[in-house]
A = this chain, B = another copy of it.
Amino acid sequence: MLRRLRGIKAVLFDIDDTLFDTATLAKMSRVNAVKAMMESGLPIRNVQKGYRLLLKIVEKYGANYDQHFDRLLEALGYTRDPKIIAAGIVAYHDTKLAYLKPDPDVIPTLIALRDKDCKIGIVSNGRSVKQWEKIIRLGLQHFFHTVVISEEVGFEKPDPKIFELALKELGVKPEEAVYVGDSSEVDVLGANAARLVSVRLVKRKRKEPRFDKSMRPKVTIRKVSELLSLLKIA
């Protein structure tokens, strides 16, 4: 295994749940939104009840829908109240900004990789401006040699073409590149299909199905900084 990780010239990263803790951000933003709405008069007894109802609404309408709080009031049989909705929006956004920080080992790892002449990049699915907003808020906009976002290029992970595009920009062959992401079905599957060295980041262990071989990573790490020992840098 580690033999393969010699001769690596580029490390490409996923953004969400890889460079920062998206799951905690989403949870805390929603919990704080419910608390703020309660302070503004939302007639529920406890935060957890409101949070669970909000999760069902997010699941039903999708994460990018922009009227979750309107639907939450409706679900509680409450007439639309702009004060309560605005309280939710303000708390949600403030919390999001507070949690939109790179995991503590991310910036030191990126700097160490660049210091060793390793190219670094991002390959991400999503809307270009939204993903760039995250990169900028994470303070990472000047670090990467390439940033490829699906909306802009017209392919998305797990399509191998999105990885090939990033490699082309860096002038690096697939077997000389590592891709780091959290998702077996998207990140690992795509990186394997494009013949990069797939590294799966699993910050919190949880029960999972046994994945098909195409979705099994070459290496699993618990935090981004483990890349340095994998690549014999640290």
Contacts and interface: CB of A to CB of B under 8 A. Distances in A.
A89 interface: yes
Contacts of A129: 82, 85-86, 89
Contacts of A105: none
A149 interface: yes
A90 interface: yes
Contacts of A86: 128-130, 132-133, 135-136
A130 B85 CA distance: 10
Classify the interface of chain A: helix, strand, loop or mixed.
Answer: helix
What is the oligomeric copy number? 2
Interface residues of A, number: 22
Interface in A79-95: 82-83, 85-87, 89-90
Contacts of A128: 82, 86
Contact of A141 (B85, B87, B130): B87
Given A40-B141, A141-B40, A149 B82 contact: yes
